[in-house]
Amino acid sequence: MKPIHELTPAQHDELLAVLQSVPGNPYEAHEEFVAAVAGTTAPEFLTEVCARIREDREAGRSEAHVVRNCPIDPVVPDLDLDDPIADKYRKKRTFVGEALLALVARLTGTPLMAYGSRNNGDFFTDVIAINKYSGMKTGFSDSELPFHNDRTAHWARADHISLLGMRCPADEVIYTTFVSCRELLRHLDARDQEVLRQPWFTTSFDVFSQATNQSQRSSGAHPILEREHSIRYLETTTTVLPEAPGEAKDALLALKNALVVAEKQRHRMRDGDLLLFANQDGLHSRDRIEILDPDLAATRWLLKTYAFRDRAAADAYADRWQDGVPGRIAD
């Protein structure tokens, strides 16, 4: 994927100075940290890049963007993959990456989102392998991931996802692949689209979600296509309800065929790459193309945020905030 912008060395250093000036620890006092980010003056080039991203999204030109050579923390610690989240709390004492993600969320007008029962309610989470999930179908594994939305089965799903490359082993060929729902619709006829908009489908929660919240087993009935060009689908796990008519299975097969032929965008993350894409208006996957050292590949670490599409979308959940913290969904 071609970056929308690659920071020059001077821009990198200018932005790094801004991010390093932000006080606090987002894992101990999130609201204070985000308020401090809001109090900074963003470099003009970053404001312009984020404006272009907003314009692309609103015009339907693109739902995926890469910004290259972004600042990350000067020391990226090695994490214990038995419990990388707890180890991050112990070892990560600077928060440049978190400040960058919070700043970009503010500049793009996409308020951050978190889940109360996931990663201790953190707004900044990690895409990194956890040993006990090795080979399993979850973002916290060392495996490939089929096309999906994050939290497909959950009733509250982020509109946008941001991924910042913290550690991306250069010799391990791993791609993030994105396909927009607009593109999928081009390969589905009107009848199949109509059927896919009916609540005749269901999706199971992934193994990590089930482990962190005992109530999370299945989504219940839901449509696959929503709104004008949104989609709710986890390949191999979203299925037809037993009571659904036969045409539902035919439409699901048509969607699987559309996924094969639809044009896709692929990106191989580098350290300092910021990848932003639509979660509900598209699907993404993790493709492990060539792994030379499985142990090294497992250390790949992307810092991630979820975000609402705008303030109105965030406010729609205002009565479900956990502990009164805006953006943290009580689930």
Mean pLDDT by 10 residues, the chain (331 residues): 97 98 97 97 98 96 97 96 96 97 98 93 96 86 93 94 98 97 98 98 82 73 97 96 96 98 97 98 97 95 97 94 93 77
Q: Provide the whole-model pTM.
A: 0.95
> Would you give the distance in Å from CA 233 to the centre of its chain?
15
Contact 201, 207 (CB under 8 A): no
Q: What are the distances in angstroms from CA 228 to CA 95, 181, 209?
A: 38, 9, 28
Give the per-residue pLDDT at 134.
87
Contact 65, 164 (CB under 8 A): no
Contact 154, 219 (CB under 8 A): yes
Q: How far apart are CA 12 and CA 19, in angstroms?
A: 11
Give the per-residue pLDDT at 213.
66
> Would you give the distance in Å from CA 236 to the centre of its chain?
19
- Give me the amino acid identity at 236: T
Give the per-residue pLDDT at 214.
62
Give the per-residue pLDDT at 208.
72
